[in-house]
Amino acid sequence: MKGKQKKGIIRDYILLGLVFVMAILLITFFPDKKDEVINASWYFLVEMLWILPAVMILLGLFTVFVPKKTVVKYLGKASGIKGVSLAILFGALPTGPLYVAFPIAASLLKKGASISNIVIFLSAWACIKIPQEMVELQFLGAKFMFTRLALTIIFVVIMGIFIEKLIAKEEDVSLIPTKCP
């Protein structure tokens, strides 16, 4: 994983170099666009830098203070409305990309958590993260952020229940992989 991460960072820097060269070339060939490009980039850079350190600090705090073990422990046995709320809460709290959540979801499955709660947990992890909502608030405004948040919660819960019904109908045991990496 470490090597892979390093590779990803190198890839990002190569990409940044390419984009930068492209921008320089474009501005050189079309100097009349220069001010507009620089103004727009500068504005978004400043907006981003105002919140990025704070968002990263929150991300770090959540990662350390809400360990994965706690998530599995509480969500493994919770059901009903409590289960749904916990699934959303635990999905929204810790941070990290979605693929970090897959192994957690797999161990939840093994522990007997309901399919609907696992789907809701994964979706909340992907889409209802608190630091992520903060960035959304900064750039798209409160109305946009809160409307999308409310709609997302409603639809994610419906989707979780629907997927559980679909899978239960077929009673397929092969759903649970025998080996988890």
Partner 1 sequence: MSITAAVINGVAILALLIAFFKDKEKAIQSLKIAGKSFIKIIPMVFIVIIIIGLLLGFVPPDAISKFVGSQSGLSGVLLIGVAGAIMHVPSIVAFPLSASLLESGASITAVAAFITTLTMIGFMTLPLEIKTLGKKMAFLRNGMSFIIAILIAILMGMIL
Q: Which of residues 63-92 bind partner 1 (CB under 8 A)?
A: 63-65
How many residues contact partner 1, by CB under 8 A?
87
d(CA 154, CA 24): 45
Is 25 an interacting residue with respect to partner 1 (CB under 8 A)?
A: no
Is 146 an interacting residue with respect to partner 1 (CB under 8 A)?
A: no
Q: How far is the CB of 68 from partner 1 (least distance, A)?
A: 14
Opening angle at CA 170, ends 89 and 175, nearest 5 = 55
Is 52 an interacting residue with respect to partner 1 (CB under 8 A)?
A: yes
Q: Which of residues 94-133 bind partner 1 (CB under 8 A)?
A: 97-99, 102-103, 105-106, 109, 115, 118-119, 122-123, 126-127, 129, 131-132
Is 148 an interacting residue with respect to partner 1 (CB under 8 A)?
A: yes
